[in-house]
Amino acid sequence: MNYTNSPLVTYKKISPNKTSPRNHVIDTITIHCMAGNLTLESCGNIFAQSKNQASSNYGIDSKGNIALYVEEKDRSWCSSNPANDHRAVTIEVANDGDASTGWHVSDKALNALIRLVTDICKRNHIKELKWKGDKNLIGQVSKQNMTVHRWFAPKACPGDYLYDKHSYIAKEVNKKLSKLS
């Protein structure tokens, strides 16, 4: 597979925390929350430290700017599950609200997320984004090709706000994908 990265990126800081190359084609999207209102630079600085053993492919700040931390050809260390991370593009999204808001994200961040996921799907030949909210469908991409961190580790990620938006995100991405075909 000849992987490319999103042209929507405005900031790039490649993390050493990755596996190169990934061992599976990209067929899944995993959306995470930063659990804070981090800038692209501050998130990149966290991922730049080897001791943190963490990274994501992309990050989105509350202003809707997009960063690249791990190229799509490589597996990020994001979901606490190597098999998921080998097949997924992982995206960290900044939160303008805390745990009491379900880790709310700004409208600008949500809109940037939809644009980025549409771009990822288009470039990786994912014809339709599917969400059932069913952990038992992990890896069954013909039925569901979105996963969440909380399915692989005792975490609240991506927060209730983004988790509850997964159906909406899939619907909006699919509308955009249908206009591109």
Following DSSP, what letter does each residue of 69-112 receive, concatenated?
SS-TTSEES-SS-HHHHHHEEEEEE--SS-GGGTS---HHHHHH
pLDDT of residue 180: 80
pLDDT of residue 78: 97
Residue 54 pLDDT level (bands cut at 50, 70, 90): very high
In a domain, 130, yes or no: yes
pLDDT of residue 2: 75
pLDDT of residue 25: 97
In a domain, 3, yes or no: no
Q: Which CATH number do you get for residue 55?
A: 3.40.80.10
Are the C-beta atoms of residues 17 and 52 closer than 8 Å to each other? yes
Full domain range(s) for residue 154: 11-180
pLDDT mean over 71-88: 98
In a domain, 125, yes or no: yes
In a domain, 34, yes or no: yes
pLDDT at 150 over 80: yes
pLDDT at 164 over 90: yes
pLDDT of residue 8: 98
The domain total for the chain is 1
In a domain, 2, yes or no: no
Q: Report percent pLDDT > 70 for the chain.
A: 99
Task: Tell me the residue length of the chain.
Answer: 181
pLDDT mean over 150-171: 97
In whole angstroms, what separates CA 157 from the centre of its chain? Answer: 11
Amino acid residing at 13: K
In a domain, 1, yes or no: no
pLDDT of residue 52: 95
pLDDT at 1 over 90: no
Helix, strand and coil percent figures for the chain, each rounded to 5: 35, 15, 50
In a domain, 6, yes or no: no
In a domain, 55, yes or no: yes
pLDDT at 181 over 90: no
Segment 4-7 long-range contacts (CB within 8 Å, at least 24 positions apart): 4/72, 4/123, 5/68, 5/71, 5/72, 6/58, 6/66, 6/68, 6/116, 6/119, 6/120, 6/123, 7/119
pLDDT digits (tens, 9 = 90+) for 82-126: 999 999 999 999 999 999 999 999 999 999 999 999 999 999 999
pLDDT mean over 16-36: 97
| Residue 133, number of CB atoms within 10 A of its CB | 13
pLDDT mean over 46-66: 97
Across all residues in the chain, what is the average pLDDT?
97
